[in-house]
Structure formats: C-alpha cells, structure tokens
A and B are shown apart, each in its own frame.
Chain A
Amino acid sequence: MSLKKMALAGAALSFMSAPVFAADCGPSGQSIRILASDFPAIHAVAGTAEANCGAAAAEFKRNHTTEAREIMNASLTPDPAEYTSVIVANSTLVQLMNDGLVRPLNDYVKKYGAHLQPNQLITIDGDVMAIAFMANSQHLYSRTDILERVGISKVPATYEEVLDAAEKIRAAGIMEHPLVMNLKVGWNLGEVFNKLYLAHGGTFFKPGSAEVTIANDKGLAALAMMKRLADYANPDHLTHESNDTQGLWEAGEAALGIMWGSRGGVILDDEGSTAEVTGNTVLSGAPTAAGGSTPAATLWWDGITIAKNVPDAEAEATFAALVSGLTSEMVMAHNDDAVWLIDGFKPGPAAAGVAATARGGAKSYPMFPQMGILHNTLGVELADFVKGAESAEQALADVEAAYNIAAKEKGFLN
C-alpha cells in the first residue's frame, strides 16, 4: 500500500517540478474529460498531460476507475459524450469500435504526433484509431534457486520444460504444487485457453466470419496442456486471479508462475516478500508449446482514443494534451511503472518478460468484434473440464454451442 502511495506522491511531485517545456496543447479553453482505468502507468500519462495542458484548458477532468470498461460505451454514446477520451486496451477498443464511438486520429497524428513511434499507431484499414503507450502480457516467472536444487540451470522455454521442472520439484519433495497460474473461472480461465490455443497454432474464427472454429485437434491439445498444468497448481486454482497468484509467489509457495508482466515491478520490489524470493525470481518470455515457435501469450497494449460524439475543438485539444504526455521525459520519470512503447524506455528486470514475449513473436489479443463473447463462454464452459468433470471434446462442444447462441443474440451469426 505505502509503496503505491509513495509512487503516487512521487508522480505528483515530479509533475510539479517538471520543467514546463512548451507543449503544443492545441485549441485553448477547451474541456478535456478523460475516462481511464486505475493503475500507476495510466496515472503517469494522464497526470503528465494535465501538468502540461491543464492550464490551457477550461476544464481538465480525469476519472480513474477499474470499472471503466463497464461504463465506457454508455458514456460515449450520447452527443455530446460524457468524456472526450477513453484510455483503452486491445479488447476495449473493439468494444468501442463495435458501436462506432471513437474517431480516426490521422490528422491529429500529423499535427501533434511527430514524437510518436510508428508502432504506437493502432491502425485499422489505414485509419489510426488509437495511440498505444504501454505493453503487457502474461509470461513465465521462475525461482532459479529452486530450479537449481533439482538440477535445472536454465529457465524453461517451453511448457514441456515447465511440466518437467514442476514434476522434478514435486518429486524432490520441495513443493507439492510448484506452479501458480491465473485460472479463476471466467475471464482468467478463458485467457489461459486463448494463450495455449494460439501457441498450438489455432485460429478462433473462420476468416471473414464470426463462425467459431476451436473444436479441433489444436483445441484438444491446448486443453490437454491446460489440464496437465492445472495438476501442478494449488488445488484452489479455479479461484486464483492475479492478486492470489502474486500472494502465493511472494509467500514463496511457488517456483514457477504464469503471471502478468505488470506484476513484475510489484513482485521484484522489497515489499511483501523475502529477499530469498525476490532475489531469485527471474522473469522470462512466455513458454512455447508442442514444438511450436509462438509463445503462449496474448500481447496487450494500452492506448488513448478520442470520442466521436464531441465537438472537434475539444477532441483536438484532448488529443494534443494526452499526446504531450507520451514523451521520453515522462518515461524517464516513470520508467519502472510499465513496459513503455515510447522512445527512451530502458527495460529493467521487471520488463524482461514482456519484452522477450513480444520478441518471440507472440500474437496480439485478437481484435475480433465477437471475441468478448467467445472469451466469456470459454471462461464459463471450460470449468467443468479443468476440474475433471467432463471430457475435452464435450467441453469444446459446449463452448461452441454456448457461443453460437450468444453470438446469434448479438447478431454476429444468423
């Protein structure tokens, strides 16, 4: 807790003391209203934007809430919209675009975005729809001291090696359940399948349609791997999400973990754990599976969007303000808050996992408009399989049947 406070206080201080460089804030006297999720990296971006351009604006409001995803569509639908910008991730951009609530940013990028990297521009059919500023993904965490005790000197690079290492640790009597994974029924469980399925080379939908295609050999192989992994995880794994897995890791109760990169900084710091754990924790890329070369991960980015249903001047001022926060100076002040995609980022040990996963050629989280429905269905329907109450074939058939009904209701299938 106190770390978070310190980080926030530090952030606030650095904004105040930051040299006011001449940021181009676009049209002045406008109202800038931002809706965003609530974690340090986003506070850093929005805070810098406010420090740069808050004075030039008539109003600068920030709403940081973990419920952003739940309210974003409703608050951007009216004209004028409640917010001029929403800070989104892959999946939430799709949620906004499904309802046509964000505007193309091409002209603004030309005018204000000279300092942006080309790979920060999220383009769909040539239109820039969002500006990404940070990356995230789930990847492998290893306790090298425990691996060494069972004679493994290199962190596992494939899931087969992960299973092998887990078995050795169990056999040596060091830990009965050496693995932690975010397997909580719902979003987390669905995401585990997504990652393993992509690593096996699977595709979710028939090209150009919303017809689901997961009931195949690759789906079965992904499920088989999931089950073998779950057997090495704590018996309560179906209730574990990031906070629980992080807790187990920091308590020294796990030797191998598949966790979010954004937890790296918190796990490696000197709070909430012992030096034995933090000193021997190594972050590396997401493992591959079944001899494939694609890491079992989906890559995520967070980025800024501009609402469609707001006056053009407000939109332009909001874009200029936010983009003025995406600079090397901001990154320098907040280097360890995130894996920044912005020029000037110096990856530390906490960023090693995400960087390696991206380098390894992991796929982005799929940007299909119907992906949210499939993801939710996977998270609910695969629970019976993972707890051993149903066959893999039955589980995949259940997912497809449930998906078809939900997709029909949303109009994606006829």
Chain B
Amino acid sequence: MTHRSFFWFILPTLTAMLLFIALPIVSVFIQSLYVGHEQVLVVSKSCDPFGCEEVTSVDTEATEALREAEPLGKFNGIDTYINRSHLAFAEVSAAWRDTENLGEFFRQIYNLRFYKALAFTLAYTIVVTPFVLLLGLAVAVGVNNLPRIFKGPTIFVSLLPMIITPLVGSLILFWMVDADGVIGATLQRIFDDNALSLKASPTLTWIMLIVYGIWHLLPFSFIVFYAGLQTVPTEVMEAAMIDGASKWERMRHVVVPHLMPLVIFVTLILLMDNFRVFEPIVGFSAEAHARSLSWIIFNDLRESGSPLYGSAGATSMMTILGVAVLLTPVLIRTWRDFNRKAH
C-alpha cells in the first residue's frame, strides 16, 4: 500500500478516533485545570412554613458577571491534582514526616480518599484479572471436551452472567446475600452465626465484590479462549500424543503457547475493565467499605447537587494514567514479540 492510499484508507478511522476519543479527553483535561468562580455571597433573611432565619445566598448577578468574563472558570493549574482529595502531596509528606513506623504511615495515607480508592481498585484488578484468565481457560477446555450434544446448552448457560447488565446482576446478588436472602441465610446457617453479614464487614464486602467481578467477567475470557481452542492444529496435538506427552503436558506446551496472543488480548481488556470497576459498588451499596476511582468521579459529579467538574476531571485523567501504567508491561511484551517476528 502506498503512503497515499494508506492515508485515505485510515482517514475515517482516524477522524472518528480524534473526535470521539482524543477531543473529549483533551477537554476533560482542560476542565481539570480550572475551578469555579468565586461565589458572591450575601446575607439574607429566609422565611418558610417553620419560621424565619438568617442565611447566606448567592448574589447571582455579581456571580454571573464573573462567569461571563471567564466562562471556563478560574485557572487553578495542577492544584486540583495535588490537593487533599487527589494526590495529596502535602498530606503524604506530612504523614511521612510525622509518623514513626510504616504501619502508622499507611494508616494515615489510607485515610485519604484517593489512595483509599486506589487501594481497592488495584486490589480488585490484581485479584480478578488472573482468576478470570485461569478459570476462563479451564472452563473453555472443559466445555471443549464435552460431548457434542451438551456443548451448545453449556455455552449458553456459561454466557448468562455476561448477558445480565452489571447493575442488575449485582442488585440481584445483593438481595440474595442479605441476612434474609438465600445466600446470606444459608451462610449464617453453615457458620452457625446469626450476626454474620456480608454487607457489614469490610473484608467480606471486598470478597463479595471480587467474587462478583470474577463471576461477571468469566464468560468473556471463556468464550474467547473457547474460540481459540477450535484453531489448535490437530497435527501438532497428534504429534505430541505420539511423542508420549500427557494431557497436562499437551496443555502446557501446545495449547497455551498457541493461545498466547489471545491471552494477551484478554489480559488487556480485563485490566482496563477491572480498573474502572464501578457498578458492583453501587449495586451492592458497598460505599462504606469499598470505593473505587470511578466511584469517586461519580460522587463528585452527582451527589452534591452541584457537580465538581474539575475534581472529577482530575480523577478521570489519573484513571486513564493508571490504566496506561497497568497496560505498559503487556504492551511492551507484545511489541517485543512483534519485533522478534518481524526480524
């Protein structure tokens, strides 16, 4: 392909990517550098059915004038990124200075909302991703070895967790793990403990969210690996069998290497998905014990009645950065493989 025809070939894709991916990110980044205007407050008397009181209110005309002058807001530079609600440089260094041991230092860091969310987000990603990869492969191999007649129905049933909308799925499970629900009551019976509650303990909440994450994402890796298994060359498998390779050795030395590109692809997608974990936290009402970066963004934008665009923008940018950091090792590996093949 000449450069010229390549350019015309790629142009529509490039335009779409620029419009729908690059521009919004740039706009969010710019927004994250600004904060709201000063609100001009005036003291006024407010009366309602229950009495009168002195309150402050916003002088909308004066505030409007400020807004007209600078529609984007007040330039704040990277202050939003390093304030206490985000990277909290000042608080982290103060904690480092003032604490005597690492345990106390981490306890103080964990009290900062960004790091608390980061801790859960990373833990979730790091646990869920390998489990989904391994279990997905195991299920795929299992289904692949089923008699033909059972394959169709098994695949259909295995895909169900993914067909259910995450929010709905987590809500259904949330009701089931209630102390009066099927799972919750059964667990109480098994452990003979009437106070056992999956919703009240931080550890159990984390486990519940992680198990849900694995359950929800398993079908994705399963179906990709299952498709990959159909392309394993029978000649190689037969040769390995003749060489006396056991089932396990065939799996380890023939099937897995053959599926490696798929493993990388699934890992990439899983890392990205898991780092943005959000719905289960809302669905399970788990905000008390587990908050993710995406949940912080949601909270900033929705809950206070007046959205904190700058703060949410800063957290979004750092989420993108976090995904990029997580993906780097996988991408480097792919790049090396690509170069090795090219030479």
Chain A interface residues toward B at CB < 8 A: 69-70, 90-92, 94-95, 97-100, 119-126, 132, 135, 176, 184-187, 205, 207-210, 234-236, 238-239, 299, 301, 341, 358, 362-364, 366-369, 372-373, 375-377, 379-380, 383-384, 386-387, 389-390, 394, 398, 401-402, 405-406, 408-412, 414
- Any chain A CB within 8 A of the CB of B37? yes
Q: Which of B43-51, B118-126, B138-146, B243-251 contacts A (4 or more CB under 8 A)?
A: B43-51
Whole-angstrom distance between the alpha carbons of A14 and B80 in the complex?
56
Residues 25 to 45 of chain B near chain A (Cβ within 8 Å): 35-39, 41, 43-45
For B97, the chain A residues whose CB sits under 8 A away are none
Closest residue to A384 on the B side, CB-wise? B111
Whole-angstrom distance between the alpha carbons of A88 and B214 in the complex? 43
Residues on A with beta carbons closer than 8 Å to the beta carbon of B267 = none
Q: Could you say which of A97, A184, A369 contacts B41, with CB atoms under 8 Å apart? A: A369
Q: How far is the CA of A95 from the CA of B37 in the complex (A)?
A: 16
- Chain A residues whose CB sits within 8 angstroms of the CB of B37 once the complex forms: 411
- Shortest Cβ distance from B134 into chain A, in angstroms? 32
Partner of B84, one of A123, A187, A364, A401: A401
- Whether A373 contacts B304 in the complex (CB less than 8 A), given A124-B46, A209-B56, A235-B197, comes out as yes
* Selected A-B contacts with CB under 8 Å, 5 pairs: A92-B305, A176-B195, A380-B287, A389-B202, A409-B308
B84 touches A97 (CB 8 A): no
A-binding residues in B (CB < 8 A)? 35-39, 41, 43-51, 53-58, 60-61, 63-64, 74, 80, 83-85, 111, 113, 178-179, 194-195, 197, 199-200, 202, 285-289, 299, 302-306, 308, 310-311
Residue of A nearest to B80 (CB): A409
Q: Which residues of B contact A69 (CB under 8 A)?
A: 305
Q: Is B288 touching A238 in the complex (CB atoms < 8 A)?
A: yes
Q: Tell me the bound Cα distance from A408 to B64 in angstroms.
A: 18
* Besides A70-B302, A380-B303, 14 other A-B contacts (C-beta < 8 A): A91-B305, A94-B57, A120-B49, A123-B46, A124-B55, A176-B194, A185-B288, A186-B299, A239-B285, A362-B50, A364-B53, A368-B55, A387-B289, A411-B63
Smallest CB-CB separation from B310: which chain A residue? A409
Contact residues in B for A412 (Cβ distance below 8 Å): 39, 41
Contacts of B54 in A (CB 8 A): 207
Taking a contact as CB atoms under 8 Å apart, the answer to whether B111 and A186 are in contact is: no
Chain A residues within an 8 Å CB radius of B289 = 387
Q: Which of B55, B64, B304 contacts A406 (CB 8 A)?
A: B304
Query: Chain B contacts of A299 at CB under 8 A?
Result: 49-50
CB-nearest residue of chain B to A377: B304
**Quick one: closest B residue to A132, CB to CB?**
B49
Residues from chain A with Cβ under 8 Å of B83 in the complex: 405
Q: Contacts A120-B49, A375-B304: A208 and B285 contacting too (C-beta < 8 A)?
A: no
Q: Are A411 and B55 within 8 A (Cβ)?
A: no
Question: How many angstroms from the CA of A346 to the CA of B286 in the assembled complex?
Answer: 42
Chain A residues with Cβ below 8 Å from B199 are 235-236, 238-239
Q: Which of A99, A208, A358, A383 contacts B43 (CB 8 A)?
A: A208
> Quick one: closest A residue to B289, CB to CB?
A387
B38, B64, B287 — which one has the most chain A CB atoms within 10 A of its CB? Answer: B287
- In angstroms, Cα B50 to Cα A132, docked, is 11
When the two chains form their complex, are residues B55 and A410 in contact, meaning their CB atoms are under 8 A apart? Answer: no
Question: How near does chain A come to B49, taking the closest CB pair, in angstroms?
Answer: 4
Question: In the assembly, what is the distance between CA of A377 and CA of B311, in Å?
Answer: 14
Give chain A nearest CB distance to B70 CB in angstroms. 11
Q: How far is the CA of A94 from the CA of B83 in the complex (A)?
A: 28
Task: Please give the distance in Å from B193's CB to the nearest CB on chain A.
Answer: 11
In the bound complex, residues from chain B placing their C-beta under 8 Å from that of A411 are: 35-39, 63, 74
User: In the complex, are the beta carbons of B200 and A238 less than 8 A apart?
Assistant: yes
Q: For the complex, what is the distance from the CA of A402 to the CA of B304, rounded to whole Å?
A: 13
With A236-B179, A411-B74 already in contact, the answer to whether A301 and B49 are too (CB < 8 A) is yes
CB contacts (< 8 Å) of A98 on chain B: these are 39, 57-58, 60, 306
- A124-B45, A236-B199, A402-B84 are known contacts. Are A95 and B306 too (CB-CB below 8 A)? yes
Chain A nearest CB, measured from B283 CB (Å):
11
Q: How far is the CA of A380 from the CA of B302 in the complex (A)?
A: 13
Docked Cα-Cα span, A121 to B51, in Å, equals 11
* Residues A410 and B306 in contact, CB atoms below 8 Å apart: yes
Given known A236-B178, A406-B85, A409-B308, contact A121–B47 (CB-CB < 8 A): yes
Q: How far apart are the CA atoms of A125 and B58 in the complex, in Å?
A: 12
In the A-B complex, the 7 residue pairs with the smallest Cβ-Cβ separation, listed nearest first, are A100-B60, A372-B305, A239-B285, A376-B304, A238-B288, A411-B36, A125-B44
The listed residue (A368, A375, A386, A402) touching B56 by CB distance below 8 A is A368
Q: Which interface residue of B45, B47, B51 has the most chain A CB atoms within 10 A?
A: B47
Known contacts A124-B45, A207-B54, A405-B83; A95 and B197 CB within 8 A of each other: no
The residue of chain A having its C-beta at the shortest distance from the C-beta of B74 within the complex is: A411
A406 in contact with B311 (CB, 8 Å): yes
Instruction: Give the contacting residue for B202; candidates A119, A122, A366, A387; CB below 8 A.
Output: A387
Check A209–B41 contact: CB distance below 8 A: yes
Cβ 8 A contact of A208, one of B56, B58, B288, B302: B56
Using Cβ atoms and an 8 Å threshold, which residues of chain B touch A387? Answer: 200, 202, 288-289
**Contact residues in A for B61 (Cβ distance below 8 Å):** 100
Residue of B nearest to A125 (CB): B44
Query: What's the least CB distance linking B318 to chain A, in Å?
Result: 16
